[in-house]
């Protein structure tokens, strides 16, 4: 009788998923986990656990990274993502934990995940224990009988149509900086693969442990990426998008990469995109190191090919080495000639001291200005545009929509800052602007703040990165829930648009599939993985989260409204006055057509009113 940990914070979801699992596995024991702090004690509990089915969103916090570390800490337990929302395309690149959906394939997928081959022998290998998850299956520790070589054996799900093609793609990469694929081992109707173990921590592990690699280690990682991508470029091997989990560093700073080949069915990426992702990872690591600016600039603009990247990173490494070498040589020469050149050395010391003092004062002044004085203002002005009366097609029916006014762009961080400042001065107005069903829980200015608001506002004022993306007061406000958005609109003497109004503004008189027309590609909106390296003309190349409002001139609706197709999805009023989220956002790998503009999970559920996510903002409307 298997024991299944079902980790879901929402009671209704736990009940529904428990009933679904017991329909397929009547003898299974379901052990619910209701909060994130309870999860690890449940995994380490006295009773045996077969599988963990966990959501990644806990109190609106993404726990995908932490789940990887737990999966590696408890490899004997099979992990799977099983949540309330459809997370397809939202998980980090190369994410090793499988994603399950509550559909007819669930029994087969659960049976595959709970399979344990420990103790079995396959060819020259004996599997000793599970080693954790892999994007293509499950890993086991094993040892070669003759070579006495410890390896990890990758076991795919039975009958996987993707695995043979994926292994052929991965086997094409043979580079010393990439963890090796040793050999394949046939077994019944499956092929097992022996892989080189990954003994070193990844950048993800180092970040979660609070450790920061040195500038030299980061430069070596960038050079390793350039070398690998150059070899793959010369062999015409497609590359997938790499993330923090794919880059590892030894204790001596030696870089290695998990296999970066893209296999059939997996989204391909480019050298430019991978460089810019790595630059976003390095920015918080190298913050405050003045010599890091050239490396970050190389990664942001690596050149026309991976060979340009490799040439620039090698030159940067050489310059780092020369700086250290010259510094040591000067100290040695000055120490040897000290008695002969006392006067010169004294004058040199005075000059250097003066320069150092001036440099220190300049650095202090710049730091003081950035930390205490810099307060970059917003540049976007509030504006609204009329939407004439017309019709929309909703679930096969034609619906009449009266004329109305709609904000030209999404409400920005700067706009929302003014709102919170105003209600802090007059908190008595809160009861007049918060929708009636939410007044008991939204009765103070703090209740109307977006999640992580203090850090968001501080970084927007100083135009600093937030989650590897620079934000300003012109960036759409995010992490804001539905009642807070409605309260802002009421404070402005306006309201949130209805779902029909939003669709009318986005589709126009011609009922186009997308706000900019009927062509899906190339999409001019701030979406997810869809950059075009050869053209290098997509403004989305610079953004991996929400960008400032009106930064994407091509993402303009038929009546002149910006960012209806991407950037952030937007709260609106749906059927029975319930909240709905409308439109595409920066996590979507493809444009969202109008029939699918209402964002729902796999069970056709709208996001709850108290949802606070990075990809949801809002704009306001009014009668014309």
Does 285 share its domain with 417? no
| 344 assigned to some structural domain | no
Kindly tell me if the per-residue pLDDT of 225 is higher than 80.
Answer: yes
Structurally, the chain folds into a number of domains equal to 4
One domain for residues 220 and 277: yes
> Residue 30 is part of a domain; what is its CATH number?
3.40.50.2300
Contact criterion met (CB below 8 Å) for 562 and 384:
no
Q: How many CA atoms lie within 13 A of 77 on its CB side?
A: 27
Cα separation, 214 vs 616, in Å, equals: 36
* 367: confidence class by pLDDT, cuts 50, 70, 90: low
Average pLDDT of the residues in 436-440: 94
Looking at residue 71, its pLDDT comes to 92
Supply the pLDDT for residue 370. Answer: 56
Q: Which of 41-55, 473-487, 571-585 has the lowest mean pLDDT?
A: 41-55
Which carries the bigger pLDDT value, residue 468 or residue 325? 468
- CB neighbour list of residue 297: distance below 8 Å, 6 or more residues apart: none
What distances in angstroms separate CA 328 from CA 139, 323, 354, one per listed residue?
A: 47, 9, 22
Domain residues for 155?
121-195
pLDDT band at 443 (very low <50, low <70, confident <90, very high): very high
pLDDT at residue 45 above 70? yes
**Residue located via tokens 């094409």:** 172
Q: Are both 30 and 101 inside the same structural domain?
A: yes
Would the pLDDT of 332 be above 50?
no
pLDDT surpasses 70 at 348: yes
- Choose the final residue of a domain: 275, 293, 320: 320
- Asked whether residue 549 is domain-assigned, the answer is yes
**Both 11 and 61 in a single domain?**
yes
Nearest Cα neighbor of 259 from 185, 154, 141 is 154
Residue 522: asked if its preceding bond is cis (omega within 30°), the reply is yes
| CA–CA gap between residue 579 and residue 365 (Å, rounded) | 48
> Which pair of structure tokens corresponds to residue 345?
């050395």
Confidence of residue 355 (pLDDT cuts 50, 70, 90): confident
The answer to whether position 408 is within a domain reads: yes
Structure tokens at 619: 């704009």
Residue 360 lies in a domain: no
Do 423 and 519 reside in the same domain of the chain?
yes
What is the predicted pLDDT for the residue at 144? 86
Exposure on the CB side of residue 403, measured as CA atoms within 13 A: 4
In a domain, 366, yes or no: no
CATH code of the domain containing 211: 1.10.510.10
* Among candidate residues 195, 213, 246, the one where a domain is terminated: 195
Establish if 615 belongs to a structural domain: yes
- CA nearest neighbour of 206 among 281, 298, 316, 98: 281
Q: Do 127 and 110 share a structural domain?
A: no
Length of the chain: 624
Q: Does residue 478 sit in the same domain as residue 501?
A: yes
Burial 225-248 (b: 16+ CB within 10 A, else e): bbbbbbbbbeeebbbbbbbbbbbb
Domain identity same for 35 and 57: yes
Q: What is the mean pLDDT of residues 423-427?
A: 95
Picking from 48, 47, 31, the residue whose alpha carbon sits closest to that of residue 39 is 31
Considering the domain architecture, whether residues 141 and 266 belong to the same structural domain is answered as no
Please tell me whether residues 157 and 244 are part of one structural domain: no
Indicate if 310 and 453 belong to the same structural domain.
no
Q: Where does the pLDDT of residue 344 fall: very low under 50, low under 70, confident under 90, or very high at 90 and above?
A: low
Closest CA to 237 of 310, 164, 170: 170
CATH code at position 176: 3.30.200.20
Which one of 320, 339, 359 terminates a domain?
A: 320
* Residue carrying the six token digits 């002969």: 340
Give residue 253's pLDDT band: very low, low, confident or very high (50, 70, 90).
confident
Statement to judge: residues 468 and 572 lie in one domain: yes
Question: What is the mean pLDDT of the segment spanning 140-160?
Answer: 86
- Confidence label for 329 from pLDDT (cuts 50, 70 and 90): very low
How many CA atoms are closer than 13 Å to the CA of 242, on its beta-carbon side?
32
pLDDT: which is higher, 353 or 143: 143
Q: Considering the domain boundaries, does residue 9 fall inside one?
A: yes
Segment 458-465 shows an average pLDDT of 91
Where residue 608 sits, what CATH number does that domain have?
3.90.1580.10
Judge whether 329 lies within some domain.
no
At 128, give phi and psi (nearest 5°): -95, -45
């Amino acid at each position: 009788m298997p024991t299944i940990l079902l980790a879901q914070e929402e009671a209704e979801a736990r009940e529904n998923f428990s009933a679904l699992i017991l329909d397929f596995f009547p003898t299974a024991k379901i052990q619910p986990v209701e909060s994130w702090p309870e999860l690890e004690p449940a995994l380490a509990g006295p009773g045996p656990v077969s599988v963990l089915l966990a959501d990644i969103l806990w109190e609106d916090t993404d726990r995908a990274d932490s789940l990887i570390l737990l999966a590696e800490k408890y490899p004997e337990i099979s992990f799977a993502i099983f949540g309330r929302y459809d997370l397809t395309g939202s998980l980090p690149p190369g994410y090793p934990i499988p994603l399950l959906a509550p559909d007819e394939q669930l029994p087969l997928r659960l049976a595959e995940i709970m399979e344990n081959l420990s103790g079995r022998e396959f060819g020259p290998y004996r599997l000793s224990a599970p080693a954790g998850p892999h994007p293509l299956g499950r890993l086991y520790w094993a040892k070669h009988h003759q070579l006495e070589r410890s390896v990890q054996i990758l076991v795919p799900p039975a009958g996987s149509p993707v695995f043979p093609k994926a292994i052929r793609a991965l086997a094409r990469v043979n580079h010393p900086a990439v963890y090796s694929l040793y050999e394949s081992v046939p077994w019944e109707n499956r092929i097992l693969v022996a892989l080189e173990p990954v003994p070193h921590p990844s950048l993800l592990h180092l970040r979660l442990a609070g450790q920061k690699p040195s500038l030299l280690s980061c430069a070596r990682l960038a050079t390793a990426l350039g070398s690998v991508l150059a070899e793959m470029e010369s062999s015409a091997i497609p590359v997938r998008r790499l993330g923090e989990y794919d880059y590892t560093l030894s204790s001596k700073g030696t870089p290695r990469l998990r296999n970066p080949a893209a296999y059939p069915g997996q989204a391909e990426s480019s050298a430019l995109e991978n460089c810019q992702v790595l630059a976003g990872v390095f920015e918080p690591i190298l913050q405050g190191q003045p010599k890091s600016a050239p490396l970050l600039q190389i990664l942001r603009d690596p050149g026309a090919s991976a060979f340009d990247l490799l040439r620039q990173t090698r030159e940067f490494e050489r310059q780092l080495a020369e700086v250290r070498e010259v510094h040591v040589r000067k100290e040695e020469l000055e120490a040897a000639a000290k008695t002969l050149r006392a006067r010169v050395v004294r004058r040199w010391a005075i000059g250097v001291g003066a320069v150092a003092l001036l440099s220190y004062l300049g650095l202090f002044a710049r730091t003081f200005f950035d930390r205490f004085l810099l307060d970059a203002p917003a540049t976007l002005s509030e504006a609204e545009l009329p939407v004439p009366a017309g019709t929309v097609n909703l679930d096969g029916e034609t619906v009449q929509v009266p004329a109305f006014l709609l904000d030209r762009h999404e409400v920005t961080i700067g706009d929302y800052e003014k709102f919170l400042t105003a209600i802090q001065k007059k908190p008595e107005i809160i009861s007049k602007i918060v929708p009636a069903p939410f007044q008991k829980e939204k009765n103070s200015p703090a209740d109307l703040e977006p999640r992580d608001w203090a850090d968001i506002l501080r970084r927007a004022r100083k135009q600093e990165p937030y989650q590897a993306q620079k934000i300003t007061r012109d960036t759409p406000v995010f992490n804001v829930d539905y009642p807070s958005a409605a309260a802002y609109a009421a404070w402005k003497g306006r309201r949130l648009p209805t779902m029909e109004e939003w669709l009318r503004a986005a589709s126009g008189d011609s009922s186009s599939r997308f706000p900019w027309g009927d062509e899906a590609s190339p999409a001019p909106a701030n979406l997810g993985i869809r950059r075009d390296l050869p053209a290098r003309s997509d403004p989305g190349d610079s953004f991996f989260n929400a960008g400032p409002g009106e930064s994407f001139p091509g993402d303009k609706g038929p009546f002149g409204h910006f960012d209806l197709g991407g950037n952030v999805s937007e709260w609106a009023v749906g059927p029975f006055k319930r909240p709905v989220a409308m439109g595409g956002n920066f996590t979507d790998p493809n444009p969202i057509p109008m029939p699918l503009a209402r964002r729902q999970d796999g069970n056709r559920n709208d996001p709850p009113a108290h949802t606070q996510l990075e990809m949801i903002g809002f704009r306001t409307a009014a009668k014309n």
